[in-house]
């Protein structure tokens, strides 16, 4: 049973966590701070971010905390945020792409993408790409992508509907964004290996955990989802954060791994290997997504000739 007490000393390491003002991101940031890391909380709401920073600093941790405003629904702001981080920091050991939005009413990012695809995947792709020079300066940096068991609900990404051109189905778009997250993790591992980078790309999911993620669901729909999976109690946020913390810090982790709770259907439990769907590891799909995201953001990382991806 792996818990945060097993986290190795993180002194000297710098960790950036998206969506760190609440839920899983907050618990991840707190645990890394307690273990000695310099933690950067990246969240979009200044007031909530400052409050989270104060709360963490009031704890008896041995790390440091700073905060920055990051709106993943705005690619221009993601670039500016990353530039600010690159100016201030000379290393980035852990990038934890955690922030997420689930089943909102139909809406789009500043750049016109369906909100869940835009925030959960594309904003994180852009953030990772802009921060890539900093990751490259660090020895064995880790990029942890937070996905979901929901990625298994879809078989592929509909590239003709990423701006909701055809229709909007909130559950389907969430599942697509989480499939994209895993294809991103798998492709980043493959491309980093190909280009000789020492980056460790891994993913995690929290099973079913009590956070604000269901804020856009009605009480009835939420209960129906719990009944469907025969879930009696949600995990507390500290426990749901463990798979991501394991992926971020365990020395046994291998690039390309995916972690989740080890209980039945990966819904609750302690960190264990999680199951990737066949579509998450499909190289043809992953390459297509990568090329799409490169075109959407203008980013090329790792530095591989485009026709060699
Ligand atoms: N909880 C679960 O059972 C569960 C299950 C599977 C996967 N997950 C995944 O776990 C991750 C964390 O979710 P959570 O459960 O902790 O949910 P949460 O409590 O709702 O936290 C989500 C975080 O993402 C931030 N966020 C949303 N839109 C953003 C944007 N445009 N730019 C920057 N940050 C943004 C939120 O900021 P605000 O507070 O300002 O909105 C919040 O900090 C997500 O990727 C989610 O898909 C959760």
CA triple 245-117-30, angle to 5 deg: 25
Specify if 30 maps to a domain. Answer: yes
Q: Rounded to the nearest 5 degrees, what angle is found at the Cα of 43, between the Cα atoms of 151 and 46?
A: 150
Pocket test for ligand 1, best of 75, 99, 174, 178 (most atoms within 8 A of CB): 99
Residue identifier of the C-alpha nearest atom 43 of ligand 1 = 19
For ligand 1, is residue 208 a contact (CB within 6 Å)? yes
For residue 32, give the CATH number of its domain. 3.40.50.720
In a domain, 166, yes or no: yes
Q: How far is the CA of 98 from the centre of ligand 1 (A)?
A: 7
Separation CA 274–CA 243 (nearest Å): 9
Beta bridge partners of 15: 39, 94
Is 174 noted as a catalytic residue in this protein?
yes
Per-residue pLDDT of the chain (309 residues; tens, 9 = 90+): 999 999 999 999 999 999 999 999 999 999 999 999 999 999 999 999 999 999 999 998 889 999 999 999 999 999 999 999 999 999 999 999 999 999 999 999 999 999 999 999 999 999 999 999 999 999 999 999 999 999 999 999 999 999 999 999 999 999 999 999 999 999 999 999 999 899 999 999 999 999 999 999 988 988 888 888 888 889 999 999 999 999 999 999 999 999 999 998 999 999 999 999 999 999 999 999 999 999 999 999 987 666 666
CA 175 to ligand 1 centroid distance, Å: 14
In a domain, 2, yes or no: no
Q: How many C-beta neighbours within 10 Å does residue 107 have? A: 13
Substitution site in 43, 213, 225 for ligand 1 pocket (most atoms within 8 Å of beta carbon): 213
- Which atom of ligand 1 is least distant from the CA of 72? 32
> Residue 6: inside a domain, yes or no?
no
Q: Please report the atom of ligand 1 found closest to the CA of residue 214.
A: 20
SS3 category, 4: helix
Q: Helix and strand tally (H, E) in the chain?
A: 11, 8
Task: Please say whether the dihedral angle defined by the alpha carbons of residues 83, 88, 92 and 96, taken in this order, is positive or negative.
Answer: negative
Residue 1 is assigned to a structural domain of this protein: no
> Does 4 reside within a domain?
no
Q: Provide the pairing of β-strand 271-273 with 258-261.
A: antiparallel
What is the H or E stretch that residue 112 is in? none
Q: From the CB of 145, is ligand 1 less than 6 Å away?
A: no
Does a structural domain hold residue 184?
A: yes
Q: 3 lies in a domain? A: no
User: Residue 52's domain spans which residues?
Assistant: 11-308
**How confident is the model at residue 114, as a pLDDT?**
98
206: alpha, beta or left, given left = phi > 0 and alpha = psi -120 to 50?
alpha
How many domains does the structure of the chain reveal?
1
């Amino acid at each position: 049973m792996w818990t945060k007490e097993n986290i190795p000393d993180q002194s000297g390491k710098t960790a950036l966590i998206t969506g760190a003002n609440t839920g899983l991101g907050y618990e991840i940031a707190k645990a890394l701070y307690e273990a000695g890391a310099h933690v950067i909380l990246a969240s979009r709401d200044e007031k909530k971010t400052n409050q989270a920073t104060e709360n963490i600093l009031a704890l008896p941790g041995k790390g440091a905390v700073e905060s920055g405003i990051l709106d993943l629904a705005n690619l221009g702001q993601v670039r500016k945020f990353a530039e600010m981080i690159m100016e201030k920091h000379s290393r980035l050991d852990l990038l934890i792409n955690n922030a997420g939005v689930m089943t909102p009413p139909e809406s789009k990012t500043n750049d016109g993408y369906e909100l869940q695809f835009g925030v959960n995947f594309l904003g994180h792709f852009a953030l990772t790409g802009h921060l890539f020079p900093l990751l490259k300066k660090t020895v064995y940096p880790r990029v942890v992508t937070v996905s979901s068991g929901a990625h298994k609900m879809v078989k592929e990404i509909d590239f003709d509907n990423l701006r909701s051109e055809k229709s909007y189905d909130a559950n389907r778009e969430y599942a697509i964004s989480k499939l994209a997250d895993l294809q991103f993790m798998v492709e980043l591992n493959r491309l980093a290996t190909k280009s000789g980078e020492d980056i460790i790309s891994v993913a995690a999911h929290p099973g079913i955990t009590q956070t604000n993620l269901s804020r856009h669901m009605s009480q009835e729909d939420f209960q129906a989802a719990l009944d469907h999976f025969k879930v009696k109690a949600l995990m507390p946020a500290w426990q749901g954060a463990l798979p991501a913390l394991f992926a971020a810090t365990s020395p046994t982790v291998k690039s390309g791994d995916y972690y989740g709770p080890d209980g039945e259907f990966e819904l609750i439990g302690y960190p264990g290997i999680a199951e990737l769907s066949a579509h998450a590891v499909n190289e043809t799909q992953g390459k297509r997504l990568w090329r799409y995201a490169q075109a959407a953001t203008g980013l090329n990382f790792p530095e591989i000739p485009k026709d060699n991806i």
